[in-house]
Amino acid sequence: MTTPRRKKYRPWNPENYARQDFSPADRLPDGDLVFFLLDVVPQLDLDPFYASYELETRGQPPFDPAMLVCLLLYAYSVGLYSSRKIAQACERNLAFLTIVGDDRPDFRTLSDFRKEHLRLFKEVFGQVLRLAHEVGLVQLGLWATDGSKLLGNASRHKAMSYGYLKKEEARLQAEIDDLLAKAQQVDEAEDAALGAHRGDELPEELQFREQRLAKIRQAKQRLQDQAKAEAEAQRQRRAEYEEAVRQGHKHAGGQPGKPIDETPADKAQTNFTDPEMKIMPQSNKGWDYGGNAQVVVDDACQIIVACDVVSDTNDKQQATRMAQQALANLEQAGIERPCDATGGPQKIANACDSGYFSLKEVAGLEALGLDPYMAVERQKHHASPTALPAEGVPTSAKAKAQMQAKLRTALGRAVYGLRKGVVEPVFGQIKGARGFRRFSLRGLEKAKGEWRLVCLTHNLLKLWRYGCVPSVN
């Protein structure tokens, strides 16, 4: 429960609205989602949301943060993500009126509150996860990890390649030099005519070109920094490969690798609208700027236990990192892993598709106490799995062969077969049913926060649909 505060806020008591002669709540069906959220939000610890208001004593009393949290949670639950549309719904929609009553926030208030407090929803995510575990919706028997591309708030028409940036930089620099030369000639002529009198300000066309040149140089620097980071990652992969060859886990290649170049390719692109978003393949088979949204889903009731957004176009390095985040979320929520017969933590099966497989990721999941089931290659539809050899696979076989053999066992087929029914419907519910296909906010950190808010409301919807309505103490 949120503790009382000294600072005065605009009064928010939804029970008062229900006792009015004309109440929006009277027109809504019993058990509506809005009533569930009005019961849940007062039980959440929202003290961090109040903290930013406590030091400011000037101005009119602000809206109660609990009301704004409840409003955002309901809006995201029903597929309303625009602050302007949420503010409009507060004037016309009965469920929204049930939350806000007669004092309705405008779109700017909602937009600012979401931006300023986006990171605080991480704590709310953990509290909802704990609630889901308490009512039995999280059982930690099997996890499924997957990713999906979501569009960013960035335009393809506001992007340039590295090769074009170099040409544009040279062109603008030549135009600036020409304009400066002309300005010098004009200054000399005016000095002869006006003497010590004041001349004109810097020409507007010169200001525009200098500002654009500065942006182009910043974009070039971003691409150069990315190229250096990719070159360093390539050196690291090459060193790991050479170490694996030295230990006999891999065969040495036929030809030596090409020298690593830290210069960006001419086709490398950066976006001026949102530089942190990368161009990547989308579900419509095209390419656009966006983020790779990741989730880890518990198989019992499709509760999301971890979520993130990365700029990598593939999932090769995400399995271990997402598992670490999931375990951290469980610890934050005070959820203990079940114990096995020996009294130690029980291994959690972690199913991932072929996009996540690598020897490093398999070893990373096993080190975390998980039991990975990762496809090593894409299988054709309706193709029967290859039978296991009679002698089995020796323990000295390569890790890839061991994983192939593991997935061909009866247990492996059964466990991995659950993957598509656990995680893929979650993306369908978020992208198809709720219509979340594009980030509203710019910047990778804000995209992470918005995706966390989407996943948080997904878990709340699961609680509501399973009838796990908490009682107010």
- Taking each helix axis from N to C end, the angle separating 444-465 and 65-77, rounded to the nearest 10 degrees, works out to 80
- The DSSP call for residue 335 is P
Domain boundary among the residues 271, 306, 324 is at 271
Say if 435 falls within a structural domain. Answer: yes
- Distance (Å, rounded) from C-alpha 355 to C-alpha 349? 17
Query: Is pLDDT at 182 greater than 80 in this prediction?
Result: no
* Domain ranges, residue 428: 139-154+288-439
Query: Is pLDDT at 424 greater than 90 in this prediction?
Result: yes
Q: In sequence order, which ranges of 333-382 are alpha helices (DSSP H)?
A: 359-367
Q: Are 182 and 325 in contact (CB under 8 A)?
A: no
First and final CA of the chain: distance in angstroms?
A: 9
Question: For the chain, what is the domain count?
Answer: 3
- pLDDT at residue 162, rounded to an integer: 59
Query: Is pLDDT at 201 greater than 80 in this prediction?
Result: no
How far CA 123 is from CA of 48, 120, 170, 296, 362, in Å, comes to: 9, 6, 49, 17, 30
Query: Is pLDDT at 467 greater than 70 in this prediction?
Result: yes
Is there a single domain that holds both residue 296 and residue 430?
yes
- pLDDT at residue 186, rounded to an integer: 64
Is there a single domain that holds both residue 94 and residue 220?
no
> How far is CA 158 from its chain centroid?
22
Say if 278 falls within a structural domain. Answer: no
Say if 4 falls within a structural domain. Answer: no
Candidates 89, 93, 91, 87; CA nearest to 106 is: 87
Is there a single domain that holds both residue 224 and residue 299?
no
Residue 471 banded pLDDT, cuts 50, 70, 90: very low
- pLDDT at residue 326, rounded to an integer: 94
Domain boundary among the residues 271, 297, 322 is at 271
Is there a single domain that holds both residue 303 and residue 249?
no
pTM: 0.77
Residue 58 banded pLDDT, cuts 50, 70, 90: confident
Is there a single domain that holds both residue 65 and residue 194?
no
343: left (phi over 0), alpha (psi -120 to 50) or beta: left
Q: Which DSSP helix (H) or strand (E) runs through 260?
A: none
Is there a single domain that holds both residue 292 and residue 420?
yes
Candidates 283, 289, 286; CA nearest to 269 is: 289
Percentage of the chain with pLDDT > 90? Answer: 36
- At which residue do the structure tokens 């089931």 appear? 373
Is there a single domain that holds both residue 162 and residue 101?
no
Query: Is pLDDT at 375 greater than 50 in this prediction?
Result: yes
Residues in the chain: 473
How far CA 246 is from CA of 243, 251, 260, 360, 421, in Å, comes to: 5, 9, 21, 16, 41
- pLDDT at residue 299, rounded to an integer: 92
- Distance (Å, rounded) from C-alpha 111 to C-alpha 451? 16
Query: Is pLDDT at 333 greater than 70 in this prediction?
Result: yes
Q: What is the pLDDT of residues 238-282, one digit of tens each?
A: 777 777 767 666 666 666 667 776 676 666 666 667 677 777 777
Is there a single domain that holds both residue 90 and residue 198?
no
What CATH number does the domain containing 150 carry?
3.30.420
Is there a single domain that holds both residue 297 and residue 239?
no
- Distance (Å, rounded) from C-alpha 82 to C-alpha 33? 20
From 70-79, 114-123, 380-389, the region with the lowest mean pLDDT: 380-389
Query: Is pLDDT at 395 greater than 60 in this prediction?
Result: no
Q: What is the pLDDT of residues 102-151, one digit of tens each?
A: 889 999 999 999 999 999 999 999 999 999 999 889 999 899 999 999 88
- pLDDT at residue 261, rounded to an integer: 67
Is there a single domain that holds both residue 143 and residue 119?
no
- Distance (Å, rounded) from C-alpha 316 to C-alpha 21? 59
Q: In sequence order, which ranges of 305-443 are alpha helices (DSSP H)?
A: 319-332, 359-367, 399-408, 410-417, 419-422, 424-427
- Distance (Å, rounded) from C-alpha 310 to C-alpha 291? 6
Q: Report the mean per-residue pLDDT for the chain.
A: 80
A 10 A CB-CB count for 408 gives 16
Q: What is the pLDDT of residues 12-27, one digit of tens each?
A: 877 766 666 567 777 8
Say if 9 falls within a structural domain. Answer: no
A 10 A CB-CB count for 90 gives 21
Say if 449 falls within a structural domain. Answer: no
Adjacent-strand bridge partners of 339: 345
Is there a single domain that holds both residue 328 and residue 264?
no
Candidates 443, 434, 328; CA nearest to 79 is: 434
Q: In sequence order, which ranges of 21-93 are alpha helices (DSSP H)?
A: 33-40, 47-54, 65-77, 83-92
The two structure tokens encoding residue 62: 């602000």
Question: What is the DSSP pairing of strand 159-161 with strand 269-271?
Answer: antiparallel
Residue 83 banded pLDDT, cuts 50, 70, 90: very high
Say if 336 falls within a structural domain. Answer: yes
- Taking each helix axis from N to C end, the angle separating 47-54 and 65-77, rounded to the nearest 10 degrees, works out to 130
> Region 193-216: what's the mean pLDDT?
60
Residue 390 banded pLDDT, cuts 50, 70, 90: very low
- Distance (Å, rounded) from C-alpha 469 to C-alpha 56? 36
Is there a single domain that holds both residue 50 and residue 194?
no
In a 13 Å sphere around the CA of 429, the CA atoms on its Cβ side amount to 19
Say if 261 falls within a structural domain. Answer: yes
Say if 133 falls within a structural domain. Answer: no
